[in-house]
A and B are shown apart, each in its own frame.
Chain A
Amino acid sequence: MPEGDAARTRRFEAVALPHLAAAYNLARWICRQEADAADVVQEAVMRALQYFDSYRGGDARAWLLQIVRNAAHSWLERNRPASLTLVPDSELEQLPAADDPVATVAAQTAATQLRQAIGQLSLEQREVLILREFEHLSYRQIASILDTPIGTVMSRLSRARDQLSRMLRPTTEAAT
């Protein structure tokens, strides 16, 4: 007897919902807007439920993040095509808002600076950095999420961090 829809949805909830916060954070960094990210995550979760039969166990977070990442890209293609074109690294883009009211003022300054710097990275560099620094995924997992060779993950991450250290240089040097 095939598994009922309710049981399947429940099993899906147990697998996917614990990773909702990670999914939202990734979408938020890719889309840059809270409302856009929320739409992307909702769409991605429903898409994930549809694809749930193809989930064969394993890392549920990486599985969900891949769907979220693809949903975010197709969402941006449909709604914000300009944000997908690569901009020169030096060009300023809209900064993510600092919305962390509980942090202390000092920590907030450093965090805000870093957030802004990460927000200025190109989409390509931003997403690889988020998957590594926030989700602590291995290069192999990131490669499978981005559907690229591991070597590409390595070089994108390296360029992203080079760029980040150039942007933060004044404060880094002042601290040493």
Chain B
Amino acid sequence: MFENFPLWPARASTTAGQVDALYIFLVALSAVMSITIFTMILYFAARYRRRQGVAAEQIEGSTPLEVTWSVFPLVIFMVIFAWGMVIYFHERTPPQDATEVYVVAKQWMWKLQHEEGQREINQLHVPVGRDIKLIMTSQDVIHSFFVPAFRLKQDVLPGRYTTLWFRATKPGTYHLFCSQYCGTQHSGMVGQIVVMEPAQYQAWLAGGIAGAPLAETGAGLFQQLGCSTCHRSDTQGRGPNLVGVFGKKVLLEDGRTVVADEDYIRESILAPTAKIVSGFKPIMPVFQGLVSEEQLNALVAYVKSLGQAAPGARPGIPAAVQPAQPKVQ
């Protein structure tokens, strides 16, 4: 807004405007409250300054006044809470057909893998107007993916996935910061989000050396690591059939039912004995230490794509199956 003394970063996402609106409301409210209190105090200090012969009036209190100035702020607070809740709900509910980008954070860099196959380090190119969902994990300590221009951040944890989604609205280059202290080069773990017009984005996709689409890489790994030996697409396999499993509920041998989300697939590869599918034996080898985070992401993308119309296309989950409430938050 103010060129030389900006009070807020550029607004480059659909949520930025909403967040700023609430922020400005809160600033105004705080200013009004502060000025009211300060004015009253200064006024009282002046008006009731100690003077010879004028005694203070002893006032014990006033319950109606106390109730008023308890209830009234509480009501305002609940309004602020509700307003914030609506924005937060929206921010934490990724659209069903968002384009997915896998993010692996490590000390002290960001590694990103597009579905289409592009890999980036410390940079993320996205087209304007498309829903992007980041599926993130860390290789070591907790990091946090922070884009001030989008007014969003999400901690990135080792051992599980967390997600963040946005839709960019304004082309430009914006700061990406790590905002969870992670060691020596925490302040150097920065990058850029490059938002491009759709045409330019297509050009960027086409140019440069792209790898295979992520799901295809995953398919290759699936063969290479021997997964296909047991996880066949018929009922003969020693492991469960994975076609269409993503997003469905799975019955485990101990009676629990879990949803097959990204965390479930990841855990099944790294620590397969944690959740055994009902009717199967605990014979799957442990892949902890044998696959990197990027390879895990590729495998997850592959499993997601099974049973879909085309690899990498968005899921057309049958109506009979409940769409998953993603376990990753």
Q: Do A and B come from one complex?
A: no
